[in-house]
Amino acid sequence: MITLDENRQPVQLNGTLQDITERKRIEFKLQESVERYTSLKKYNHDAIISFNMDGNIMNANPVAVKMTGCPVAGMIGTSISRFIGASNLSLILRSNYEMAEKEINAVRHTDGSETEVLATLAPIIINNSNVGFYLIAKDITEQKKLLVAKETAERMNKAKSEFLAMMSHEIRTPMNGVIGMTDLLLDTPGLSGEQKEYIEIIQKSGDSLLAIINDILDFSKIESGKTDLVDDPFDLAEIVTETVQIVKPLARVKKLDVRMCIDDAIPTPVYGDAYRLKQVLTNIIGNAVKFTSEGGVEIEVRVKEQCANNVQLYFKVKDSGIGIPLEKRQQLFEPFYQLDNFMTRKPQGTGLGLAISKKLVELMQGDIWIEESDEPGTTFIFTACFKLNNSEESNRFDQLQKKNRTASLRILIAEDNEVNQLVLSRMIEKKGHVVDHVVDGVEAVEAVKHNPYDIIFMDVHMPRLDGFEATKMIKELKSSEDCPYIIAVTANAVRGDMDKCLKAGMDAYVSKPIKIESIMHALETYYIKCNL
């Protein structure tokens, strides 16, 4: 303020200074907050529309403009019901916005089309009063597409597994005749050298065909997660030795030196899936012999780690063969991968062996890899975990070791297929047992009523009454001491089937094509059960 004298001349100037730092800070904060909120809306990937308590739109972001096909100016002041439907708006305004959130699953475009969305409704609360809502709509078209694609892939995978299981069943039944008969023929005295050679060729081709079917089936089963491992006691050294015996003939022909080194510290028995372990070993050792023409194969097994309940074993299979280039090593564990072009290469196989082995080893909490080395040849290493347990199972295991049985058994074969029936009875008769036949489940139940059988070989698929039902009836008919030992015979060599048979009350399981050794193994389980 200016003070003037009598001549109107300024003599004094009065002023005040006001500190506005705080005001500026608040203004700045407010501005920042508005900008943050604007950015959040502007750059959001979801459509955001705000509306008041009458349902009239207050603002919208660029994604909302795109989703509705309507500019912001065209939206403001109009009802949001045109985009989400009148019933949903009335749900919101009747203070049931959580329910509306679930109901809103599409946003309408001005051209009549709809976008599938996942909606969120956020109330706008100012001074403790609800003045409107934000609709946040996420476009889920892509996710939906992915979901549909995933479901389709799963359905197709299931169809594939079912097709493979059915195909294997269909192929295995006639193969039972072919392989079983050649097995019997080879055992016939007086064959000429030439005849024997021909039969052996038939047998080999049958075996390879079966191996391929088994591999494909096995892989698809493991891949779909349907493989459960068992926890039975076994002697590790015995399993490794048995596997080596399988490859010995080929190694002998190729003049390869096969050496085995099994650490004495490995506990016996260990608990696990001996069948699956043998499958991995057969594949790795089999490959080593297959791809080696000079030198030999060394197999080493030792304890990697051991605690009170578990042991982790380390397996090493080293060959002096053709070797595997460094860059190809990882792919080898992929299904159907083989190093040479499969039309030109000599050794036979499906290229599934290593893929199956990897999956099995993983199921045994282990790993498999190829060791880096400058030496010629290949070294496969794998680890696997087994349980250690000293329960009654160990006694059962001891029993397994001692065997001496000569008694002739009375055996019933329930099988509708004539060829299978013939193969099975010849194999059993050769071992000195007495055999009766029936062709369906009804006849099997009748036969059991009138004869004291020791064992029944029960086909699972039979007319009139199938093997499962017949087993159930026989179990009801007989006390547990008198009930014959029932061995399921099925064409589905799938691990899950074994459980199904055992659940149905059957005692053991053999899969077609039936081999003399699997019959012997099944009889063995009977002897053990009877403590013979």
Candidates 36-44, 94-102, 349-357, 471-479 — which segment interacts with ligand ADP by CB under 6 A?
A: 349-357
Tally of CB atoms within 10 A around 84:
27
When binding is defined by CB under 6 A, the residue of 182, 220, 283, 511 that contacts ligand ADP is 283
SS3 433: coil
SS3 360: helix
Measured from each CB, the residue nearest to ligand ADP is 349
Q: Tell me how far, at minimum, the Cβ of 295 lies from ligand ADP, in Å.
A: 12
For residue 69, give Cα distances in angstroms to 63, 199, 220. Answer: 10, 77, 48
Q: Tell me how far, at minimum, the Cβ of 136 lies from ligand ADP, in Å.
A: 51
Tally of CB atoms within 10 A around 3:
10
Burial 301-334 (b: 16+ CB within 10 A, else e): beeeeeeeeebbbbbbbbbbbebbeeeeeeebbe
Q: Tell me how far, at minimum, the Cβ of 310 lies from ligand ADP, in Å.
A: 28
What is the rounded distance in angstroms from the CA atom of residue 420 to the CA atom of residue 258? 38
Tally of CB atoms within 10 A around 508:
21
Using the rule CB under 6 A, is 349 a contact of ligand ADP?
A: yes
Strand boundaries in 415-529, DSSP class E: 434-438, 455-459, 485-490, 508-511
SS3 95: coil
How many residues line the site for ligand ADP (CB under 6 A)? 19
Using the rule CB under 6 A, is 324 a contact of ligand ADP?
A: yes
Using DSSP bridges, classify how beta strands 106-108 and 296-306 pair: parallel, antiparallel or unpaired: unpaired
When binding is defined by CB under 6 A, the residue of 275, 291, 314, 369 that contacts ligand ADP is 291
When binding is defined by CB under 6 A, the residue of 350, 425, 471, 490 that contacts ligand ADP is 350
When binding is defined by CB under 6 A, the residue of 322, 381, 385, 473 that contacts ligand ADP is 322
Q: Tell me how far, at minimum, the Cβ of 321 lies from ligand ADP, in Å.
A: 5
When binding is defined by CB under 6 A, the residue of 258, 354, 439, 489 that contacts ligand ADP is 354
The string of DSSP letters for 65-103 reads HHHHT--HHHHTTSBTHHHH-HHHHHHHHTT-HHHHHHH
The nearer residue to ligand ADP, 259 or 464, going by C-beta atoms, is: 259
The answer to whether residues 233 and 272 touch, using CB atoms and an 8 Å cutoff, is no
Candidates 30-38, 122-130, 348-356, 420-428 — which segment interacts with ligand ADP by CB under 6 A?
A: 348-356
Bridge partners of residue 209, in order along the sequence: none
The answer to whether residues 361 and 272 touch, using CB atoms and an 8 Å cutoff, is no
Using the rule CB under 6 A, is 93 a contact of ligand ADP?
A: no
The nearer residue to ligand ADP, 318 or 437, going by C-beta atoms, is: 318
Helices and strands (H, E) in the chain, number of each type:
17, 19
When binding is defined by CB under 6 A, the residue of 321, 441, 467, 513 that contacts ligand ADP is 321
Q: Tokens 């809306």 identify what position?
A: 41
Candidates 344-352, 401-409, 422-430, 509-517 — which segment interacts with ligand ADP by CB under 6 A?
A: 344-352
Using the rule CB under 6 A, is 272 a contact of ligand ADP?
A: no
The nearer residue to ligand ADP, 92 or 352, going by C-beta atoms, is: 352
The answer to whether residues 266 and 313 touch, using CB atoms and an 8 Å cutoff, is yes
Q: Tell me how far, at minimum, the Cβ of 426 lies from ligand ADP, in Å.
A: 33
Site for ligand ADP in 371-430 (CB under 6 A): 378
Biggest CA pair distance of the chain = 155
Which H or E run contains 303? Answer: strand 296-306
Q: Tell me how far, at minimum, the Cβ of 259 lies from ligand ADP, in Å.
A: 15
Q: Tell me how far, at minimum, the Cβ of 256 lies from ligand ADP, in Å.
A: 12
Candidates 77-85, 119-127, 137-145, 280-288 — which segment interacts with ligand ADP by CB under 6 A?
A: 280-288
The nearer residue to ligand ADP, 319 or 440, going by C-beta atoms, is: 319
When binding is defined by CB under 6 A, the residue of 184, 237, 339, 422 that contacts ligand ADP is 339
Name the residues that contact ligand ADP, by CB under 6 A. 283, 287-288, 291, 319, 321-322, 324, 332, 338-339, 349-355, 378
